[in-house]
C-alpha cells in the first residue's frame, strides 16, 4: 500500500519539535511528507520545505492555503501534523477536520474544554482519526508497564508519584529564544504554563500504564517562582484521588535548577511497585513487596510480546524518544488506514479523548489552585 500522504503545519526551521515529527513519521514508511506550511514566516517556510525536497508549489504560505489547495488535488494529503504554538491548535485542527483530514496534533489539543468538545464532535462526524503527541507513551517499557498492571503483577494500584520537573527556566532571563518566549505568553499558551506544557505528559503516562483508573478529585497549588511570570505558573503541585481509592501526587516545574528533563513516574501496588524515568527509558524497575528487586531491560525476551513487538534493535542497544514517537506514528497509521496496512497489530494510542481529558484536567487544576488548593471534582468532558 502507498504511504499516507501527509503534511505538516509548523515545525519549521529551528523549531524544537519539527525534526522529530518528520523523522518519526517517515521512519517506517507509513507516512510520506508531501507538503507543508512550516513557518509563521512564509518565505522562511517555503525555503525550508524546498530544502526538504518538496515541490515549491506544495510549500504553502499558510495552513488555510494548504488545506484548500490540497483538497482540490487528486493526490492531496490525507493527514496532517500540527506542530505550532498552543493557541493555534484548535483553529488548525478544526480546519483540517473540516477538510476531512486525519490529524496528529501536538499537545495540548486546545486551550478550553469547550473547544475540545467541538473538536470531538467534528472528528466523530467526519470519522477522522485525531492522535495527540504524548510521545513518551510510545516507549517500549511503557507498553511493558501497561501489560504488567493489566496482568495484576502489581496487585491493586494504591499510590502514584509522578514528576516532570526540569530547570530549563530557572531564571527570568532564561527565556532566551523564540521557542521559550511564547511559552510564557498567556495569549499563546492560555492561562497555564507548566501544567499544560509539562503536567499533561505524566498525566497521560498514568493513563497509558493504568487505563482502568479514573480521577475523581483534584487539588492543585501553583506558583510563579520567577515573579515576572505571574499569572502563569512555573511550578505546581497536584494531588489526585482515583475511583479505586488510589492517590497520586504530581510535581511539575520549569525551575527545578539543575534538572535537565525530570520526567519520571512510580506506581505502587499492593504486591509490587514499578518506576520509570524518561532519561533512562530503556529500563523499568520492578520491586516486589517481598523478594529482590529487578531491573527489566528493553529488548529482553521476558518482556510481554506486545512490548517486544515494537523492538527495533536487539536488547543491549539503546532506543530513545525517536523510536517511541515512531511507534506512535505507526499506531496512528494503522488507525488511519486499518489493520491490513501493517504487519503490526493495532494498538492503543493517545487519541482525541485523551487530548480532551488533559485539557479538562488543566482547567480543574486552575480552578482548584485559584481557590487555594480546594478539592474539586473532576469530570471527563468525553
| Region 62-91 residues binding ligand NAI, contact defined as CB under 6 A | 63, 83-86, 88
- Residue 190 found at the interface with ligand NAI (CB under 6 A): no
Phi, psi of 18 (to 5 degrees): -65, -45
CB neighbours of residue 375 within 10 Å: 15
Judged by beta carbon, residue 5 or residue 107, the one nearer ligand NAI is 107
Complex with ligand NAI: residue 84 or 273, whichever CB lies closer: 84
Note whether 39 binds ligand NAI by CB under 6 A. Answer: yes
Which stretch in 11-19, 50-58, 94-102, 223-231 sits in contact with ligand NAI by CB under 6 A? Answer: 11-19
| CA–CA dist 117, 130 (Å, integer) | 13
> What cell does 251 get?
510535581
Q: Find the binder of ligand NAI among 26, 27, 40, 381 (CB under 6 A).
A: 40
| Cell 506542530 found at | 83
Q: Does 111 bind ligand NAI (CB under 6 A)?
A: no
Q: Is 198 in the site for ligand NAI (CB under 6 A)?
A: no
Q: How far is the CB of 288 from ligand NAI (least distance, A)?
A: 32
Q: Which residue has the cell 506558583?
A: 223
Instruction: State yes or no: residue 310 binds ligand NAI (CB under 6 A).
Output: no
Instruction: Write each residue from 18 to 37 as x if it is in contact with ligand NAI (CB under 6 A), else as -, in one continuous string.
Output: -------------------x
Interaction mask 143-182, ligand NAI, x per CB under 6 A: -----------------------------------xx--x
- Verify binding: residue 107, ligand NAI, rule CB under 6 A: yes
- Does residue 188 belong to the site contacting ligand NAI (CB under 6 A)? no
Q: How far is the CB of 11 from ligand NAI (least distance, A)?
A: 6
Q: Which of 3, 7, 9, 268 binds ligand NAI (CB under 6 A)?
A: 9
Task: For Cα atoms 351, 216, 128, give the angle at the middle one, nearest 5 degrees.
Answer: 15
Q: Please state whether the peptide bond connecting residue 108 to the residue before it is cis, i.e. omega within 30 degrees of 0.
A: yes
Residue 76 vs 85, nearer CB to ligand NAI: 85
- By CB under 6 A, residue 193 contacts ligand NAI: no
- Say how far apart CA 237 and CA 356 lie, in whole Å: 21
> Quick one: which of 7, 10, 49, 269 contacts ligand NAI (CB under 6 A)?
10
Binding-site member from 77, 133, 296, 362 for ligand NAI (CB under 6 A)? 133
Q: Check residue 202 for interaction with ligand NAI (CB under 6 A).
A: no
Among 3, 7, 12, 262, binds ligand NAI (CB under 6 A): 12
What CA–CA distances, in Å, run from 43 to 7, 132, 133, 241?
17, 28, 27, 50
Q: In whole angstroms, how far apart are CA 49 and each of 10, 42, 46, 81, 273?
A: 11, 10, 5, 15, 47
Q: Among residues 83 and 265, whose Cβ is nearest to ligand NAI?
A: 83
Burial 276-291 (b: 16+ CB within 10 A, else e): bbbeebbebbbbeeee
- Binding mask 215-254 toward ligand NAI (x if CB under 6 A, else -) reads ----------------------------------------
Contact yes or no for 296/286 (Cβ under 8 A): yes
Contacts with ligand NAI by CB under 6 A lie at 9-12, 15-17, 37, 39-40, 63, 83-86, 88, 106-107, 133, 135, 178-179, 182, 197
Amino acid at each position: 500500500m502507498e504511504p499516507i500522504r501527509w503534511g505538516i503545519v509548523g515545525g519549521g526551521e529551528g523549531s524544537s519539535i519539527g525534526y522529530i515529527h518528520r523523522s518519526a513519521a517517515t521512519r517506517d514508511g507509513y507516512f510520506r511528507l508531501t507538503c507543508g506550511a512550516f513557518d509563521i514566516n512564509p518565505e522562511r517556510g517555503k525555503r525550508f520545505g524546498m530544502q526538504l525536497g518538496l515541490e515549491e508549489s506544495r510549500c504553502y504560505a499558510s495552513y488555510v492555503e494548504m488545506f484548500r489547495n490540497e483538497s482540490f488535488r487528486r493526490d492531496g494529503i490525507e493527514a496532517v501534523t500540527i506542530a505550532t504554538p498552543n493557541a493555534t491548535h484548535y483553529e488548525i485542527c478544526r480546519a483540517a477536520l473540516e477538510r476531512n483530514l486525519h490529524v496528529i496534533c501536538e499537545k495540548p489539543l486546545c486551550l478550553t474544554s469547550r473547544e475540545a468538545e467541538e473538536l470531538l464532535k467534528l472528528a466523530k462526524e467526519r470519522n477522522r482519526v485525531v492522535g495527540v503527541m504524548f510521545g513518551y507513551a510510545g516507549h517500549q517499557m511503557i507498553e511493558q508497564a501497561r501489560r504488567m498492571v493489566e496482568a495484576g503483577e502489581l496487585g491493586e494500584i494504591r499510590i502514584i508519584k509522578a514528576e516532570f520537573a526540569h530547570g530549563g527556566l530557572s531564571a527570568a532571563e532564561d527565556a532566551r529564544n523564540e521557542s521559550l518566549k511564547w511559552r510564557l505568553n498567556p495569549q499563546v499558551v492560555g492561562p497555564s504554563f507548566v501544567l499544560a506544557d509539562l503536567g499533561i505528559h505524566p498525566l497521560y503516562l498514568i493513563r497509558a500504564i493504568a487505563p482502568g483508573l479514573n480521577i475523581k478529585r483534584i487539588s492543585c497549588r501553583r506558583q510563579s517562582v520567577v515573579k515576572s511570570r505571574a499569572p502563569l505558573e512555573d511550578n505546581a503541585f497536584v494531588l489526585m484521588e482515583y475511583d479505586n481509592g488510589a492517590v497520586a501526587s504530581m510535581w511539575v516545574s520549569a525551575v527545578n535548577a539543575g534538572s535537565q528533563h525530570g520526567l519520571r513516574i512510580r506506581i505502587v501496588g499492593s504486591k509490587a511497585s514499578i518506576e520509570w524515568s524518561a532519561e533512562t527509558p530503556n529500563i523499568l524497575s520492578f520491586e516486589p513487596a517481598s523478594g529482590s528487586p529487578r531491573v527489566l531491560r528493553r529488548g529482553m525476551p521476558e518482556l510481554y510480546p506486545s512490548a517486544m513487538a515494537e523492538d527495533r534493535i536487539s536488547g543491549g542497544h539503546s532506543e530513545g524518544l525517536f523510536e517511541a514517537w515512531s511507534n506512535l506514528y505507526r499506531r496512528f497509521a494503522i488507525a488511519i488506514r486499518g489493520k491490513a496496512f501493517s504487519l503490526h497489530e493495532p494498538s492503543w494510542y493517545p487519541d482525541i479523548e485523551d487530548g480532551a481529558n488533559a485539557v479538562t484536567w488543566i482547567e480543574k487544576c486552575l480552578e482548584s489552585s485559584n481557590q487555594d488548593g480546594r478539592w474539586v471534582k473532576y469530570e471527563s468532558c468525553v
